[in-house]
Amino acid sequence: MKQEQPKTPHKRNPFTAVPRAVARSVRSFAKRHRLSVTAKTTIMYAVIFALVFTGLGVLLVFSYRTYLINRVGAEEARDMLTPLAWLVLILLPLGLAVTLSLGGLVIRGMLTPVKKMIATAKEIDTASLSTRIESGNSEDELSDLAAILNDMLDRLQTAFERQNRFISDVSHELRTPIAVVQGYSELLTRWGLSKPEVLQEAIEAIGSEARNMKNLVEKLLFLARADKKSLQTQPESFHIDELINEIVNETRLISNKEILAGQIESNTLYADRALIKQAIRVFVENSLKYSGPDGRVTLSCYADEGRCAVVVSDNGIGISETDLPHVFERFYKADDARRRDGGSAGLGLAIAKWIADAHKADLDISSKPGIGTTVRLLI
Ligand SMILES: Nc1ncnc2c1ncn2[C@@H]1O[C@H](COP(=O)(O)OP(=O)(O)O)[C@@H](O)[C@H]1O
Ligand SMILES: [Mg+2]
């Protein structure tokens, strides 16, 4: 049978037991009653003051007592000590009161910025993202915290506004093709069966708008994946001259305009071939779209300062100086006439820019209205 172990009584050390018990009860009190930082700090200072003052008082009275007993005898020493003991006893609560009130005031003043931060943070929601936290005049951890929170709010506000603009741009882009499809379907319902020319026109228009929407959705998906960072480049070695010739031949098949292979130097690139092709096609499509019937598009590739330059130039309508800095922005289209063009959403160059950045390549456009545009990808 298992022998029961005699319980050894837990020995308590009276010197540590008292402070431990005090700490325990303070902790449980603080848990039960929610105390402000001001109250906690003031109480802590008051307790420290009381302990130090009492200790010093007792030390002073006892050492003076020993001194007096040696000098004047026990009887007289007691008489002389009584007023001193009273003084210590009266000064203790007085000192405590001063510590509590002055300490409380100072700490409350120091914590005012925190209260303001809490009040401001409570007010901030998506409708008032422009509100900022006051950092006050002090240069301390609290003003650092306010600055960090304001930085975070700046970033959130920018992201939120970008998101809103994106949603309204997408809705705007989809509204036209949807309206066209709806219009033609109503036309078909009314006349389609009796008028074959209406039927033909409607089928073509609906097909073309469906292609536009598919294009737009594909571009949006690309950018969404790029933003989520789930789009990875898959680099491989390939000959850029072969790629350029491939694009020249493919473009000749779909366009009647003049597509020229300019200076084509053979060069091996280590990059994501499919993405680079996608970017070059954006430039070529733009050159075709923004040039007249006598449009001429020239593609070149050559070595440039240890890198490879891919250049697409055209003799099209060009881009004005005011539009040029914005053409890489999402949904940016240069002017109203182009904005009405159903086939463009203003996303092509934004995608090309992402591809260039993903390859740490430089992308720049130079253009002269009425003369032409040159896009240069330096990779
Ligand atoms: N080769 C070019 N010639 C003239 N304008 C251009 C050319 N390439 C780009 N642009 C201008 O830059 C804008 C943005 O181009 P892009 O992002 O490809 O959008 P999209 O072609 O869908 O309009 C175009 O709307 C156009 O105004
Ligand atoms: Mg384009």
Residue 361 lies in a domain: yes
Considering Cα of 19, then 24, then 27, then 28, what sign does the dihedral take?
A: negative
Q: Provide the pLDDT for residue 1.
A: 46
Q: Are 296 and 260 in contact (CB under 8 A)?
A: yes
Nearest ligand 1 atom, CA 332: 14
Q: Side by side, which strands form the sheet with 296-304?
A: 258-264, 296-304, 307-314, 372-378, 362-368
Is the residue at 309 inside a domain? Answer: yes
Ligand 1: centre distance to CA 364 (Å): 13
User: Strands 372-378, 307-314: parallel, antiparallel or unpaired by DSSP?
Assistant: antiparallel
pTM above 0.85, yes or no: no
CATH number reported for the structural domain that contains residue 179 in this entry: 1.10.287.130
Residue nearest to atom 19 of ligand 1 (CA): 346
Q: Ligand 1: does its nearest atom lie under 6 Å from the Cβ of 373?
A: yes
Is 199 in the same domain as 255? no
Domain shared by 369 and 249, yes or no: yes
- Please tell me whether residues 101 and 174 are part of one structural domain: no
Residues 374 and 240 occupy one common structural domain = yes
Do 73 and 31 share a structural domain? yes
- The 3-state DSSP class for residue 368 equals strand
Residue 223: nearest ligand to its CA? 1
Q: Which ligand is nearest to the CA of 327?
A: 1
Same domain, 244 and 197: no
CA distance 75 to 338: 111
Regarding whether 336 and 240 lie in a shared domain, the answer is yes
Exposure string (b/e) for 268-302, b if CB count within 10 Å is 16 or more? ebebbbebbbebbbbbbbbbbbbbeeebbbbbbbb
What local confidence, expressed as pLDDT, does residue 324 receive? Answer: 93
Residues 220 and 255 in one domain: no
Same domain for 190 and 260? no
Looking at the CA of 295, name the nearest ligand. 1
pLDDT in tens, the chain (379 residues): 445 555 555 566 777 787 788 778 877 877 777 778 788 888 888 888 888 888 888 898 888 888 988 888 888 888 888 888 888 888 888 988 888 888 888 888 888 888 888 888 888 887 788 888 887 777 788 888 888 989 999 999 998 988 888 898 889 889 988 999 999 999 888 877 788 888 888 899 999 999 989 989 999 999 989 988 888 899 999 999 999 999 999 999 999 999 999 999 999 999 999 999 999 999 999 999 999 999 999 999 999 989 999 999 999 999 999 999 999 999 888 875 455 455 678 999 999 999 999 999 999 999 999 999 999 999 9
Domain that holds residue 313: 236-378
CATH code, domain carrying 296 = 3.30.565.10
Q: Which residues surround ligand 2, an ion (CB under 5 A)?
A: 286, 348
Using the mean position of ligand 1's atoms as its centre, give its distance from the Cα of residue 327 in Å: 7
Residue 266 lies in a domain: yes
Alpha helices (H) in 73-140, listed in sequence order: 74-123
> What is the structure's pLDDT at 50?
86
Q: Are residues 246 and 374 in the same domain?
A: yes
Query: What local confidence, expressed as pLDDT, does residue 135 receive?
Result: 72
Boundary-marking domain end, from 227, 251, 280: 227
Domains held by the chain: number: 3
Q: Whose CA is nearest to atom 8 of ligand 1?
A: 286
Q: What is the CB neighbour count within 10 angstroms for residue 348?
A: 21
Mark whether 330 and 305 lie in a shared domain.
Answer: yes
* CB 314 less than 6 A from any atom of ligand 1: yes
